[in-house]
Amino acid sequence: MRGVGGAATIPAAIGILAHSFPPGQMRAIAFASFGAGAPVGAAFGSAIGGVLTQLTVQKWRSIFYFSAALTFLSLVVGLLAFDPDHPSGEPDKRVDWIGAILVTSGLVLIVFVLAQGEIAPQRWKTPYIIVFLVIGVLFVILFLLWQHHLEMAQTDGGIRSTFPLSRWLPTPPPLMPLSLWARAKGRVAVVMWIAFLLWASFIAWNFWALLYYQDFAGLSPILTMVRIVPMFVTGVLCNIFVALVVGYVPLVYLMGMGTMITSTASLLFALIDPDAPYWAFGFPAAIVSVFGAEFVFTAGTLFIAKVALPHQQSMAGGIFLCMIQLGTSLGITISTVVFNNVLHKTSMRRHLPPPPDARHAPKPVQLECYHAAFWTTFAFGVLSSILAVAFLRGVGVVGHRRGVKGSEEGKVETGESGDVTVNENQNTNSEAVEVK
C-alpha cells in the first residue's frame, strides 16, 4: 500500500508541475523545490523517528502513528490546494487495462523476488522464488510486446484494422509508448538507466551505512541519525544549486559530476577504518552521498518533461519513478547477496562456524562484509557515471537562462551534431521533439 501511494502521487506531481510552470527559470525552480522535499522530509522524519523510537513507550510503532498523521494532513492539503484537472485533449480516452495488469503483475513478482530471495528457506534456490522470477520476467516481456503492438496499431488517431490481434482484442492507446524511450536518439532511455543505477548505489549505500553505525559500531538510533544529518543539509543546498545552474550547465556535466560524487561516498565506506574519527570517513561520505540523487532527479525530470508530449508528462514521470524504485530494490538485493556470500566465505576461510547473521560474527569478519557491500554500491555509481559521460555528451542545457525568451528559451542545444531540437509554445505549454 505504501508503494501504491508513492507511485500515484509522485508522477502526478511531476505532471502538475510540468503543466503549471511553462518552460523557463520558474520550472527549474519548481522541479528543484520538489526535489528538495526528499532531503527535507528525510531529515525531519529521521530526526523525529530516532527520538520516537528511543524515548516513547511504543518504540518503533510510534513512527507509523506519526507517519499516518502526516499522510492524512497531506491528503487534506492536497484536496484544498490542487486545481481541478483539465479535460484531456486526446480523442481516445480508453485505458490499456491489459497492459496495466501485465506490468503490475510482472513488477510485483520481480520486486517480491528481490526482497525475499535472500531470506527464503533455500534462498535463491527456493522453488517459489524461481517460479515467481520467471513468471515476473515473462509478464514484463509480454507487456513490452503488447505496448509495441498497440503503438503500431495506432496511426493518426485512428486504429489500423490490418493487425490480426486488433480484430478480437481492444487497441487503446499504449500505457507506455516504447517510442518514448527512443526519443532524443535514445537519450531518454539513457537518463532512465542512469537513475536506475544511481539509486541502486545511493539507497543501498544509505541502507548499509545505517546498519554499519547501528549493528557494527553499536550506536543508538539518535546517534546514528546525527551522523547522517549532513546528507539532508547538503541535499537542500544541491537543489538550490541545480535550480541556479541548470540553465547554464549541460546535462552531461550535471549528471556526470553528480554520479561521480555520489560514488565517492561508497568508496569512502569501502575503505573505512573503524578506529578513525567520524570526520575522516563518515562526515565527508554523508556530505557527498546525496549530490547525484539531487542532480539526477532535478535535471533528469526537467529533461524528460522537455522531450515528453503534454499528455505524456505524468506517464514519463511515472516511468522515471519506476526505474528509481527498481534500482533501489536491485541495489539492496545485490549488495545483500554480496554481503552474505562474503560472510559465508570469510567464516570458512577463518575456520569459523557459519554465524546465523553478521552480528554474531567477529568484528574483522563483519568489517570485511561491509567493505564488500560498499564496493558493490560503488560499482553501481561508477556504471551510472560511465553512462552519463558516454551517452549524454550530445545533450546541452536542459534548463533556461534568465532573460531568454521566445524560441530561444525552448531550444535544447545538443552540441555540434544538433541531433535534438525541442520547440515549445509557452502559451499552450506544448512541446514537440524533432530528432535530426
Report the pLDDT averaged over residues 238-265: 88
Q: Give me the pLDDT at residue 410, please.
A: 43
Among the listed residues 209, 180, 193, the one whose alpha carbon sits nearest the alpha carbon of residue 385: 193
How large is the angle between the packed helices 187-211 and 363-391, nearest 10 degrees? 160
pLDDT category at 277 given cuts 50, 70, 90 is: very high
Q: What percent of the chain has pLDDT over 70?
A: 78
Residue type (1 letter), 327: G
pLDDT in the model for residue 8: 67
Q: Pull the grid cell for residue 72.
A: 492524512
Q: Is 121 exposed, middle or buried (0-12, 13-18, 19+ CB in 10 A)?
A: exposed
This prediction's pTM: 0.79
For the cut 80, the answer to whether the pLDDT of residue 380 exceeds it is yes
pLDDT tens, residue by residue, 92-117? 667 788 888 998 899 889 888 887 88
The per-residue pLDDT for 75 is 82
Q: What is the pLDDT of residues 176-226, one digit of tens each?
A: 888 888 888 888 999 999 999 999 999 999 999 999 998 888 888 788 888
Rounded Cα gap, residues 174 and 123, in angstroms: 37
CA dist 242 and 34 (Å) reads 12
CA distance 32 to 300: 11
Band of pLDDT at residue 88, cut at 50, 70 and 90: low
Superfamily designation of domain 1-79+180-436: MFS general substrate transporter like domains (1.20.1250.20)
Other CB atoms within a 10 A radius of the CB of residue 69 amount to 10
Tell whether the model's pLDDT for residue 389 goes beyond 90.
Answer: yes
pLDDT > 60? residue 429: no
Give the pLDDT score at 86. 67
- Whether 306 has a pLDDT exceeding 90, the answer reads no
Residue 426 clears pLDDT 50, i.e. is over it: no
Number of C-beta neighbours around residue 140 at 10 A: 17
Q: Which amino acid is at 224?
A: T
Of 72-76, 249-253, 310-314, the least confident: 310-314
Q: Which residue has the higher pLDDT, 145 or 155?
A: 145
Please report which confidence band the pLDDT of residue 416 belongs to, taking 50, 70 and 90 as the band edges.
Answer: very low
DSSP code per residue over 70-84: HHHHHHHHHHHHPPP
Q: Which of 132-136, 149-153, 332-336, 361-365 is least confident? A: 149-153
Beta-carbon contacts of residue 44 (< 8 Å; ≥ 6 apart)? none
Inter-residue contact 227 to 213 (CB < 8 Å):
yes
Per-residue confidence band for 284, with pLDDT thresholds at 50, 70 and 90: very high
Does the structure show a pLDDT above 50 at 162? no
Domain ranges of the chain: 1-79+180-436, 96-174
Among residues 262, 311, 235, which one has the least CA distance to residue 15? Answer: 311
Between CA 398 and CA 393 the distance in angstroms is 13
pLDDT of residue 76: 86
